[in-house]
C-alpha cells in the first residue's frame, strides 16, 4: 500500500478511482454527459499543460488541433469510408505532423511572439473549416457518423463517460511518465531557465517541439471524442474562444499540475451549468468567481491548495 | 475562513437558495429553450428570449394553457453547438420538459436534433437552414422561412421584369454562404442564368474590385447580393460609386432600418424580400397578417423599448404554434402535441400563414415574403407581390 501511495502514478490512480465512483452519484444521463465533457476537455488540458506548465510555452491556438481531430472523424468516414476509431488515430497523426511543421519555425520565437504565432495558427484552422464548405459543411457544420467498435454502436452519454474516463486515465499515465523521463526533466530545466538548460547541453528548440507535437496530439484526440460524442460538429470547435477556454482551464487548475488539468476542466465545464439558475447574471458571476479564484489561489487551484496543506503539516 | 471568503460563500449560498425558491414556486407545463443569448449570434437569441418571456407571462396571466400554467426554462448556449447539446440533454433529463422552442442557429439546432428525436419531444427550431426540415424528422419543426424561399422570391421578381441573366455577389459568412448555395441550386428551375459570381469576407470594407468584374461582364441584367450585416451596405455604396445602373437585389438578411442608414442614398431603388413584420405599418388594412404583426410589434416595443426584429417574431410563431397545438390536443402529451403541430393549418403568424403537413414541417410558402423597394429612404411595397 505504501509503495502504491508513493508511486509517481498516484494521480492517475486517484483519477481512475474517481471515474469509477462518480456514477454512483449520478441521477440521470445528463450527469454522465457533463462528466464525459469534463474528461474530454481535461484530456486536451493535460496536453496543453505539458506545454504551458512544463515547457513554459503559451499556445493560444490549441483549439485548432481540437478542430483537426474533430473534423478527421467526419471527413475520414464520410469521404473515405474509414472506420471512426481509425480516424481518431489518423487525426492525432495529422495534428502531430501539423504541429511539427508549424512548431519548427514558431518555437524558435519567444514570449509574446510565440503566443501570437499560435494564435494565428488557430484562427487559420477555423477559417479553413468555415470556408472549405465542400469538405466541412461550412459554418453550419456536419453531422458525425457514430462510433462503432466491433459490433457496438456507441451512442449513450454513459458509454462516452467510460470511454473518455479510461482515455483520460491513459493520458494521465503517459503525461506522468513523460515528466519523469529525461525529456520531462529537460523541459522543467527549460521552464526554470532556458539559458541554464542551454549551458547544460539541452537542445531547447527540439525539446519544445517534441512537447508541442505531443500536446497537439492530446488535443486532437479530445477533439475527435468531442465530435463523436456530440454527433455534430461546427467550426466553432476550433474558434479563438475555445483556445482561450483551454488556456483558462490550465491556469485555473494550476500550471505544471497534471491533476490541476482535471480540476480546471471540471470547474469550467461544471460551473456554467451550475450558474444557469442566475439567468442574466450567469456570465458576470462566472467572471467574478474566476477572479476570486485567481486572486486567492494565485498559482492555480491545485498547487495553491497543495501548498496550504504542506504549510500546515509543518 | 477569512471574513471576505465567509461573506462570499454566504452570499452565494443565499442567492442559490433564493433563486431555487423562485424556481420551484411556479408552473406545470415545462417549455424548454436553448438560445444564443450571448456570443456572436446574440442578435438572434436576445430578441427570441425576450419574446418568449413576454408571451409566456401573458399566456399565464390569462390562465395558462388547458388550465395549466406554462413554465419557461431558457439556457444560453453562447453560440456554441457543443453547449447547446449539453443544455438539450439537461432539458430532457433534468428539467423533463414537455416541448422545446429554440435553437437560434442552424448549427446548434442540428446538434440538438438527435437529443429530442431520441427522447420523442416536439422541437420547434427558430433557425433558418432547410436541412433542419429536409429530410423531415418526425419531432422537428421550424418557423423561419428558408433562404431557398428568399432566392425563389427574388428570382420570381426578376423573371417578371425579364431580367434573367444575373450576377451573384455573396458574403462568406454562414448566412451569405448558405443563401448563395440555395440560390445557385434553385436558379435553373426559376429560369435564371447566373453569369458570374463573386464573394467577399464578412469584415471586408471595400468590394469595388468584385463589382468591377461584374460591371465588365457582358450580358448581366441584374445583381443579387446574398449577405448579412454591413457587407451588403458596402456593396450598395460601392455599386453606386462605380456608377452601375443595373437593378440591385439584396436579401432578407438586411431587411432592417439599419441597412438604409448604412447605405444612405445609395440604397435608393434597391429591392429585397422581407417578412410582413418589418413593414407592419405599410401593409394594406385587409392583409390577414396585419393585426398579428402590428400587435406583436407594439407589445415587444412597449415591453423592451427596442425595435422588433424578425428573429423575435420567429420565437413568437414557435410558441404560439405550440400553445395552439396543446390547446387542440387538450393536453401536453408529447405525442399528441406533435401530431397537432403537424396538423397546424391557417395559423397566421409574424412569418406568414403556416400550413404544416407530414411532409412539410415549416408550412410557409412564397406569400410569406413581400418584395420591397427602397424609395426616399424608406420601404415601399412593390405592387403585386
What is d(CA B349, CA B385) in angstroms, rounded to the nearest whole number?
18
What is d(CA A117, CA A95) in angstroms, rounded to the nearest whole number?
17
Q: Decide: B276 and B283 in contact? Cβ < 8 Å.
A: yes
Strand pairing class (B353-354; B70-76): unpaired
* Nearest chain B residue to A35, by CA: B86
DSSP tag of A201: T
DSSP tag of A51: I
> How many residues are present in chain A?
314
Cβ within 8 Å, pair A141-B107 = yes
Residue A149 — φ and ψ, nearest 5°? Answer: -110, 115
SS3 A196: helix
Task: Give Cα separations from A220 to A72, A247, B45 (angstroms).
Answer: 9, 16, 31
SS3 A153: strand
Confidence (pLDDT) at B9:
57
In a domain, A266, yes or no: no
Expressed as residue numbers, the domain containing A89 is: 2-239
Number of structural domains in chain A: 1
- For B135-194, write each residue's pLDDT tens digit: 899 999 999 988 889 999 999 999 999 999 999 999 887 788 888 988 999 999 999 999
Beta bridge partners of B76: B35
In a domain, A54, yes or no: yes
Confidence (pLDDT) at A32:
92
Residue B282, Cα to own-chain centre: how many angstroms? 21
CATH 2.40.50.140 fits B147-278+368-381, yes or no: no
Cβ within 8 Å, pair A141-B177 = no
Task: Give Cα separations from A106 to A98, A203, A211, B20 (angstroms).
Answer: 12, 15, 13, 50
Confidence band of B74 (pLDDT split at 50, 70, 90): very high
Nearest to A236 among B76, B81, B85 (CB): B81
Residue B173, Cα to own-chain centre: how many angstroms? 16
Residue B60 distance to chain A (closest CA, Å): 20
Cβ within 8 Å, pair A277-B79 = no
Q: Which residues contact B225 (CB under 8 A, 6 or more apart)?
A: B168, B169, B170, B232, B235, B236, B248, B249, B250, B251
B162: left (phi over 0), alpha (psi -120 to 50) or beta: left
Is B23 near chain A, with CB under 8 Å?
yes
Q: B113: which chain A residues are within 8 Å (Cβ-Cβ)?
A: 232
In a domain, A308, yes or no: no
In a domain, A177, yes or no: yes
> What average pLDDT score do residues B250-278 get?
87
In a domain, A275, yes or no: no
Buried b (16+ CB within 10 A) or exposed e, B118-148: ebebbbbbbbbbbbbbeeeeebbbbbbbbbb
Three-class SS of chain B: CCHHHHHHHHHHHHHHHHHHHHHHHCCCEEEEEEECCCCCCHHHHHHHHHHHHHHHHHHHHCCCECCECEEEEEEECCCCHHHHHHHHHHHHHHHCCCEEECCCCHHHHHHHHHHHHHHCCCEEECCCCHHHCCCCCCCEEECCCCHHHHHHHHHHHHHHCCCCEEEEEEECCHHHHHHHHHHHHHHHHHCCEEEEEEEECCCCCCCHHHHHHHHHCCCCCEEEECCCCCHHHHHHHHHHHCCCCCCEEECHHHCCHHHHHHHHHHHCCCEEEEEHHHHHHHCCCCCCCHHHHHHHHHHHHHHHCCCCCHHHHHHHHHHHHHHHHHHHHCCCCHHHHHHHHHCCCCEECCCCEECCECCECCCCCHHHEEEEEEECCEEEECCCC
Q: A37: which chain B residues are within 8 Å (Cβ-Cβ)?
A: 82, 86
In a domain, A9, yes or no: yes
Question: What's the CATH number for B3-145+293-364?
Answer: 3.40.50.2300
Residue B80 distance to chain A (closest CA, Å): 7
Task: Give Cα separations from B156 to A12, B153, B370 (angstroms).
Answer: 65, 5, 12
Q: Decide: B99 and B332 in contact? Cβ < 8 Å.
A: yes
* Nearest chain B residue to A274, by CA: B16
What is d(CA B344, CA B319) in angstroms, rounded to the nearest whole number?
13
Identify the residue among B18, B90, B131 best suited for mutation to test binding to A, counting A beta carbons within 10 A and taking the highest: B90
Confidence (pLDDT) at B208:
93
What is d(CA B187, CA B194) in angstroms, rounded to the nearest whole number?
7
- Domain regions of chain B by residue span: 3-145+293-364, 147-278+368-381
Count of alpha carbons within 13 Å of B2, Cβ hemisphere only? 3
State the cell numbers at A18: 474517481
Q: Decide: A260 and A254 in contact? Cβ < 8 Å.
A: yes
- For B1-23, write each residue's pLDDT tens digit: 555 555 555 555 555 555 554 45
- For B321-339, write each residue's pLDDT tens digit: 999 999 999 988 999 999 9
Residue B36 distance to chain A (closest CA, Å): 13
Residues 96-135 of B with CB under 8 A from A: 105-107, 110-111, 113-114, 129, 131
Beta bridge partners of B353: B348
Q: B181: which chain A residues are within 8 Å (Cβ-Cβ)?
A: 133
Tens digits of pLDDT across chain A (314 residues) = 456 556 778 888 888 999 999 888 888 888 999 999 999 999 999 999 998 888 888 889 999 999 999 999 999 998 998 888 999 999 999 999 999 998 888 777 766 777 888 899 999 999 899 888 778 887 888 888 888 777 677 777 888 999 999 999 999 999 998 888 888 888 888 888 888 888 888 888 888 889 999 999 999 999 999 999 988 898 888 988 889 999 999 999 988 888 899 999 999 999 888 888 887 787 888 888 888 888 888 888 888 888 888 776 65
Identify the residue among B108, B111, B175 best suited for mutation to test binding to A, counting A beta carbons within 10 A and taking the highest: B111
Residue closest to A177 by CA, chosen among A8, A3, A1: A8
Q: Is the confidence at residue B42, as pLDDT, over 90?
A: no
Q: Which tops the pLDDT comparison, B313 or A115?
A: B313
- Angle (deg, nearest 10), helices B231-241 and B208-216: 50
Residue closest to A165 by CA, chosen among A51, A28, A268, A266: A266
Residue B94 distance to chain A (closest CA, Å): 7
What is d(CA A8, CA A253) in angstroms, rounded to the nearest whole number?
19
CB atoms within 10 A of CB B256: 17
Confidence (pLDDT) at B26:
46
Nearest to B82 among A131, A237, A277 (CB): A237
Amino acid at each position: 500500500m505504501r509503495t502504491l501511495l508513493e508511486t509517481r502514478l498516484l494521480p492517475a490512480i486517484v483519477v481512475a478511482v474517481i471515474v469509477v465512483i462518480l456514477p454512483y452519484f449520478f441521477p440521470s444521463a445528463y450527469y454522465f454527459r457533463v462528466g464525459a465533457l469534463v474528461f474530454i476537455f481535461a484530456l486536451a488540458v493535460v496536453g496543453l499543460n505539458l506545454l504551458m506548465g512544463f515547457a513554459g510555452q503559451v499556445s493560444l491556438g490549441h483549439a485548432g488541433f481540437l478542430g483537426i481531430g474533430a473534423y478527421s472523424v467526419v471527413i475520414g468516414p464520410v469521404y473515405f469510408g474509414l472506420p471512426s476509431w481509425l480516424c481518431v488515430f489518423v487525426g492525432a497523426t495529422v495534428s502531430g505532423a501539423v504541429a511539427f511543421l508549424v512548431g519548427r519555425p514558431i518555437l524558435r520565437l519567444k514570449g509574446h511572439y510565440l503566443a501570437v504565432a499560435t494564435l494565428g495558427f488557430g484562427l487559420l484552422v477555423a477559417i479553413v473549416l468555415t470556408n472549405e464548405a465542400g469538405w466541412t459543411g461550412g459554418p453550419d457544420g456536419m453531422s458525425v457518423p457514430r462510433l462503432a467498435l466491433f459490433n457496438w454502436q456507441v451512442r449513450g452519454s454513459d458509454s462516452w463517460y467510460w470511454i473518455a474516463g479510461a482515455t483520460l486515465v491513459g493520458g494521465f499515465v503517459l503525461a506522468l511518465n513523460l515528466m519523469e523521463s529525461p525529456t520531462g526533466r529537460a523541459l522543467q530545466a527549460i521552464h526554470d531557465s532556458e539559458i541554464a538548460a542551454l549551458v547544460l547541453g539541452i537542445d531547447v528548440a527540439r525539446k519544445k517541439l517534441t512537447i508541442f507535437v505531443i500536446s497537439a496530439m492530446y488535443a486532437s484526440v479530445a477533439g475527435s471524442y468531442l465530435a463523436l460524442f456530440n454527433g455534430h460538429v461546427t467550426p466553432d470547435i476550433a474558434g479563438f474562444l475555445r483556445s482561450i477556454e483551454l488556456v483558462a482551464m490550465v491556469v485555473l487548475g494550476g500550471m505544471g499540475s497534471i491533476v490541476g488539468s482535471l480540476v480546471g476542466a471540471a470547474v469550467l465545464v461544471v460551473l456554467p451549468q451550475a450558474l444557469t439558475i442566475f439567468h442574466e447574471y450567469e456570465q458576470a458571476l462566472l467572471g467574478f468567481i474566476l477572479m476570486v479564484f485567481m486572486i486567492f489561489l494565485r498559482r492555480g487551484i491545485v498547487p495553491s491548495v497543495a501548498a496550504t496543506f504542506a504549510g500546515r503539516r509543518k | 475562513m477569512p471574513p471576505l471568503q465567509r461573506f462570499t460563500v454566504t452570499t452565494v449560498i443565499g442567492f442559490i437558495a433564493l433563486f431555487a425558491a423562485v424556481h420551484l414556486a411556479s408552473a406545470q407545463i415545462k417549455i424548454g429553450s436553448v438560445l444564443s443569448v450571448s456570443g456572436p449570434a446574440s442578435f438572434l437569441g436576445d430578441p427570441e428570449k425576450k419574446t418568449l418571456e413576454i408571451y409566456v407571462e401573458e399566456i399565464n396571466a390569462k390562465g395558462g394553457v388547458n388550465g395549466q400554467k406554462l413554465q419557461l426554462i431558457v439556457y444560453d448556449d453562447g453560440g456554441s453547438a457543443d453547449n447547446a447539446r449539453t443544455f438539450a440533454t439537461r432539458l430532457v433529463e433534468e428539467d423533463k420538459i414537455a416541448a422545446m422552442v429554440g435553437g437560434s442557429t442552424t448549427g446548434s439546432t442540428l446538434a440538438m436534433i438527435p437529443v429530442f428525436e431520441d427522447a420523442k419531444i416536439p422541437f420547434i427550431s427558430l433557425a433558418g437552414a432547410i436541412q433542419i426540415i429536409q429530410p423531415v424528422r418526425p419531432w422537428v419543426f421550424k418557423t423561419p422561412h428558408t433562404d431557398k424561399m428568399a432566392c425563389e422570391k427574388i428570382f420570381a421578381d426578376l423573371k417578371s421584369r425579364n431580367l434573367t441573366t444575373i450576377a451573384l455577389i455573396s458574403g462568406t459568412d454562414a448566412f451569405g454562404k448558405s443563401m448563395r448555395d440555395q440560390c445557385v441550386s434553385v436558379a435553373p428551375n426559376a429560369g435564371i442564368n447566373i453569369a458570374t459570381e463573386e464573394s467577399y469576407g464578412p469584415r471586408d470594407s471595400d468590394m469595388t474590385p468584385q463589382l468591377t468584374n461584374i460591371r465588365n461582364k457582358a450580358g448581366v441584367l441584374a445583381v443579387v447580393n446574398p449577405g448579412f450585416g454591413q457587407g451588403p451596405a458596402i456593396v450598395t455604396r460601392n455599386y453606386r460609386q462605380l456608377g452601375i445602373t443595373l437593378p440591385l437585389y439584396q436579401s432578407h438578411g438586411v431587411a432592417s432600418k439599419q441597412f438604409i442608414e448604412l447605405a444612405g442614398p445609395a440604397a435608393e431603388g434597391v429591392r429585397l424580400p422581407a417578412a410582413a413584420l418589418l413593414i407592419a405599418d405599410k401593409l394594406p388594412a385587409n392583409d390577414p397578417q396585419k393585426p398579428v404583426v402590428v400587435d406583436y410589434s407594439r407589445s415587444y416595443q412597449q415591453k423592451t423599448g427596442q425595435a422588433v426584429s424578425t428573429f423575435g417574431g420567429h420565437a413568437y410563431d414557435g410558441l404560439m404554434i405550440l400553445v395552439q397545438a396543446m390547446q387542440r390536443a387538450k393536453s401536453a402529451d408529447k405525442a399528441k402535441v406533435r401530431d397537432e403541430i403537424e396538423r397546424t393549418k391557417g395559423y397566421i403568424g409574424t412569418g406568414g400563414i403556416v400550413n404544416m403537413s407530414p411532409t412539410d414541417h415549416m408550412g410557409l410558402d412564397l406569400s410569406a415574403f413581400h418584395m420591397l423597394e427602397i424609395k426616399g429612404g424608406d420601404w415601399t411595397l412593390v405592387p403585386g407581390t
